[in-house]
């Protein structure tokens, strides 16, 4: 009997849960729905609502249960991929320690469930149907509230020990740099994530530097975001442009490290902050060119992600199909 081509991809976020049916042959996404996570209600309540969301997606996609091969769930944190547990989801109340997410959803929905880190899901989506579909070796960065990542080596998603490979945001850029939420100091994430960009803007405003960033939000500093900084930069504000120049410089250092170590054909960069486009990509590319000397940098493409907010959904659905096809055998490092 042929394996179904439709799998459900679920993106569990701190604010919203998104799900869709994905054709893993074509990459087509149908029946996409999003609900608030309401994580403060606790993991049992969230999982119950997630199961309801999955049923809604299957129905709205015009599918029956028999048409669906399984469910992939992308989650933002550390997971036990073998046992299907969430080990530590730092952005959700209670951190979801040792929560049996796989078994719970399987019992509620009646389909096999497979877990994967959300940015590894994004990476697999971009490799399969996005920017990296024609390359064998690539690195991905997703720049938003944090900086996550993933690696593809010889055409395969590289998981490492326990699925932890690819945490590019926690490479050390400056050993004496600011503390990072991971417990270390000077991580790339501490210098160039969305909150880091916002912090640079707030510092400029409070120091009294001449910038339109504060004016845009009527000096309500709680409303300053990377999008506001981008808006000011697009209007020609030199302080805002410098903030993105600095963030891009730091990301470029991280990208240079990845290129030197991995020698990938492509580096794919996505996430909310990457929507700044050339304002961010120009300094990233410049810093990488200036600092890579033992790898042919001219052969490495540094490009934006192509699949937008669907990348994770698509990737984790593909992951579920790969796990099902392999008889659920999981070989870390593949």
Q: Per-residue pLDDT for 50 more than 90? A: yes
User: What is the percent of the chain with per-residue pLDDT over 70, rounded to a whole number?
Assistant: 97
Lowest pLDDT segment from 43-52, 86-95, 278-287, 320-329: 320-329
- The DSSP code for 240 is H
Q: End-to-end CA distance of the chain, in Å?
A: 27
Q: How far apart are alpha carbons 247 and 190 in whole angstroms? A: 10
Q: Which two tokens stand for residue 76?
A: 């933002």
Assign 334 a pLDDT band (cuts: 50, 70, 90): very low
Side-by-side strand order, sheet with 301-304: 156-158, 147-153, 138-143, 266-270, 301-304
Q: How far apart are alpha carbons 309 and 149 in whole angstroms? A: 15
Q: Are 313 and 122 in contact (CB under 8 A)?
A: no
How far is CA 53 from each of CA 42, 59, 218, rounded to the nearest angstrom? 17, 10, 39
Tell me the average pLDDT across 184-193: 97
Q: Per-residue pLDDT for 261 more than 90? A: yes
Residue 255: phi and psi, rounded to 5, are -65, -40
Closest-CA residue to 86 (of 45, 117, 110): 117
Angle in degrees, CA 279, 262, 120, rounded to 5: 70
The helix-helix angle for 278-291 and 226-234 (nearest 10°) equals 90
Q: Are 280 and 227 in contact (CB under 8 A)?
A: no
- The DSSP code for 185 is B
Assign 26 a pLDDT band (cuts: 50, 70, 90): very high
Q: Per-residue pLDDT for 151 more than 90? A: yes
Catalogue all structural domains in the chain, each as residue range(s) with its CATH number. Answer: 6-118+310-325 (3.30.420.40), 131-305 (3.30.420.40)
Assign 90 a pLDDT band (cuts: 50, 70, 90): confident
- In this prediction the pTM is 0.94
Q: Which two tokens stand for residue 176?
A: 């004496």
Q: Are 69 and 5 in contact (CB under 8 A)?
A: yes
Residue 25: phi and psi, rounded to 5, are -90, -40
pLDDT at residue number 1: 56
Q: How far apart are alpha carbons 75 and 130 in whole angstroms? A: 20
Residue 74: phi and psi, rounded to 5, are -90, 130
Q: Which two tokens stand for residue 168?
A: 């590019």
Q: Per-residue pLDDT for 275 more than 70? A: yes
Residue count of the chain, please give it: 334
pLDDT at residue number 91: 82
pLDDT at residue number 181: 87
pLDDT at residue number 119: 96
What is the tens place of the pLDDT at every residue in 111-124? 999 999 999 999 99
């Amino acid at each position: 009997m042929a394996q179904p081509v439709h799998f459900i991809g679920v993106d569990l976020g701190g604010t919203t849960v998104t799900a869709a049916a994905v054709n893993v042959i074509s990459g087509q996404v149908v029946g996409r729905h999003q609900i608030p996570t309401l994580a403060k209600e606790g993991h049992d309540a969230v999982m119950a609502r997630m199961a309801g969301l999955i049923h809604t997606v299957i129905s709205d996609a015009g599918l029956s249960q028999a048409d669906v091969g399984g469910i992939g769930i992308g989650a933002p944190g550390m997971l036990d991929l073998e046992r299907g547990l969430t080990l530590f989801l730092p952005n959700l109340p209670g951190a979801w320690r040792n929560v049996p997410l796989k078994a719970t959803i399987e019992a509620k929905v009646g389909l096999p469930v497979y877990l994967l880190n959300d940015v590894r899901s994004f990476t697999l989506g971009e490799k399969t149907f996005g920017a990296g579909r024609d390359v064998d070796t690539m690195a991905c960065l997703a720049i938003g509230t944090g900086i996550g990542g993933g690696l593809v080596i010889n055409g395969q998603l590289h998981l490492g020990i326990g699925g932890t490979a690819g945490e590019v945001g926690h490479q050390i850029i400056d050993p004496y740099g600011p503390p990072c939420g991971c417990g270390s100091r000077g991580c790339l994430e501490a210098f160039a994530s969305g909150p880091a960009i916002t912090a640079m803007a707030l510092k400029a405003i409070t120091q009294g530097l001449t910038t339109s960033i504060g004016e845009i939000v009527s000096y309500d500093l709680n409303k300053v975001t990377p999008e506001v900084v981008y808006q000011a930069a697009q209007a020609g504000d030199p302080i805002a442009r410098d903030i993105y120049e600095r963030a891009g410089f730091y990301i470029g250092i991280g990208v240079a490290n990845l290129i030197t170590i991995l020698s990938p054909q492509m580096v794919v960069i996505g996430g909310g902050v990457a929507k700044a486009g050339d304002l961010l990509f120009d300094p990233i590319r410049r810093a990488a060119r200036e600092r890579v000397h033992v790898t042919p940098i001219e052969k490495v493409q540094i490009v934006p992600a192509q699949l937008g907010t669907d990348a994770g959904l698509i990737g984790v659905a593909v992951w579920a199909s790969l796990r099902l096809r392999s008889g659920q055998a999981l070989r870390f490092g593949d």
